[in-house]
Structure 1
């Protein structure tokens, strides 16, 4: 399940509760498009803001609506005991994999992160995707740590959050990781604005925020990049540059949530309090940009 396009949908909320009809509709849209997997309750899905009960409910809804497409859900939490309970819930709900970022209030050491993944992976019956997201966790993985973790039980993929801006350095990093990780462990790229380059550089899967709302276009981009069609990839990705500008300014979550609200795909407001979608001039500017990106629909 850790290849191709893994689409990460929003979990729309109304007064702190999951807007279930909207959430199911988002999942069904991904299933209809034929994405390779669905990353329910990723960072885009606001997992960290939900209770254990809400996360279980959302996971069950996602698995049911996915029509057989593999579903991965996040089990991240500051408490390792809660991580284990969330893993059990996710597996009982029928997920095909789990996603884990090293979430912690106190900054973790490399040894502590290794111990976390060692404990969790040992008790899993489904594969785990390591989530390298220093922007939210504050922990920066070294490639040496990622390679070591890849040899633990039940590790299926590594979701990297950053690539070097220099093309040759990006190629070298992806190639080095792929040659050193355990056999069968894939390398995935997140951060939509850099994902086309990541796939051309050799990443096996795009963990995609854009794909959670616009799966058809995202599939076309992923297929072009993964087949190393550089011309088609460049064309499809360059067309998205007006959107990537907003990503760089505001982050992917607030932007894609605003887009979903503007399109009527989710209720407004849809983010967990106190997070807000774009307002004022930036919202108006994004709305105008969407008119230029009508090919996404």
Structure 2
């Protein structure tokens, strides 16, 4: 399987205080993505708080999403776990329920070596029965994939792409070029970090793995399409219009902000899993003020 090019939209996983998945709210979120025509849905990513959910809770979320998306877009699902055997079982669950691809983060308590990461990914790819995308998220996992390790993993059957973090534009574009020279044709090179992702998309990255896209897919799709059509001016104009949202993400973290936004916009009412706390009343008022000032064309 080749990952689709374009926008992979990552919604929250709305749950009650006991971690029970709110199926109605999750359906509403996924339906928005299906209706918008996103290129892929990214379920149970970091925004979907995969590491805070049990195996059964993850299965429930996946069953809801598969049913709602109804084949309209590929479904990428987080299968990360501390133990390799647990990640294999999560990948098998995802395969049996109907996911298209797994997103595997190297979550750990003891920091992994590159050889340990290689064996972890190779085993899950071999035994899980699901195409895998490497999830490079050093801000949470404290493990950074070197270009050499990504190149090595790109040769493993069943590993089809990488989701890398974006940073300073020059460094990220150079990172993209370096990887492009190392991996096979068709190996997906995608980026996350919404406020910095425009540069690699303009430079030819395959996928924007987007937090905001999981809530406001319309404007994020417009940015992706402009970049794909080499309309740099339009892509930059739209990205600049979202500048106040990017500032909220930088200030409060994208996870906390999208939970607040989902409630403010009347899409879903949920709090992040404890011990993560919702935004304070003051911060939430700040988010509401920013959202209220955005042009209506952006809030779709």
The verdict on a shared fold, with TM-score over 0.5 as the criterion, is yes
In the alignment, which residue of structure 2 is the partner of 1:63?
66
> Does the 8 Å contact 1:259/1:287 carry over to 2?
yes
Name the SS of the counterpart of 2:163 in structure 1. strand
Q: For residues 162 and 81 of structure 2, what CA distance do their matches in structure 1 show?
A: 18
Residues 86-131 of structure 1, C-alpha deviations (whole Å, 9 max, x = no match): 0110000011100000001111111110111111111243321000
Q: For residues 271 and 185 of structure 1, what CA distance do their matches in structure 2 show?
A: 33
Q: Does 1:143 align with 2:147?
A: yes
Q: Does 1:280 align with 2:278?
A: no
Aligned pairs for 1:213-224 (under 5 A) are 213-224=215-226
Q: For residues 239 and 272 of structure 1, what CA distance do their matches in structure 2 show?
A: 31
The number of aligned residues is 294
Name the SS of the counterpart of 2:200 in structure 1. helix
Aligned residue among 116, 121, 125 for 1:121:
125
| TM-score (norm. length: structure 2) | 0.95
In the alignment, which residue of structure 2 is the partner of 1:103?
107
**How much has 1:186 moved relative to structure 2?**
1.0
Q: For residues 142 and 4 of structure 2, what CA distance do their matches in structure 1 show?
A: 25
Q: For residues 208 and 147 of structure 1, what CA distance do their matches in structure 2 show?
A: 24
> Does the 8 Å contact 1:133/1:161 carry over to 2?
yes
Q: For residues 127 and 222 of structure 1, what CA distance do their matches in structure 2 show?
A: 24
Moved over 2 A (4+): 123-126, 169-172
Q: For residues 130 and 209 of structure 2, what CA distance do their matches in structure 1 show?
A: 18
In the alignment, which residue of structure 1 is the partner of 2:37?
34
Q: For residues 43 and 170 of structure 1, what CA distance do their matches in structure 2 show?
A: 21
Name the SS of the counterpart of 2:48 in structure 1. coil
Name the SS of the counterpart of 2:230 in structure 1. coil
CA RMSD of aligned residues (A): 1.2
Residues 199-224 of structure 1, C-alpha deviations (whole Å, 9 max, x = no match): 01221101011110111111101111
In the alignment, which residue of structure 2 is the partner of 1:85?
89
In the alignment, which residue of structure 2 is the partner of 1:132?
136
In the alignment, which residue of structure 2 is the partner of 1:22?
25
**How much has 1:148 moved relative to structure 2?**
0.9
Residues 60-110 of structure 1, C-alpha deviations (whole Å, 9 max, x = no match): 111110021111111101011111110110000011100000001111111
- Greater shift in the superposed pair: 122-131 or 283-292: 122-131
Structure 2 gaps, min length 5? none
> Does the 8 Å contact 1:127/1:155 carry over to 2?
yes
Aligned pairs for 1:1-297 (under 5 A) are 1-15=3-17, 16-68=19-71, 69-163=73-167, 165-167=168-170, 169-268=171-270, 270-293=271-294, 294-295=296-297, 296-297=299-300
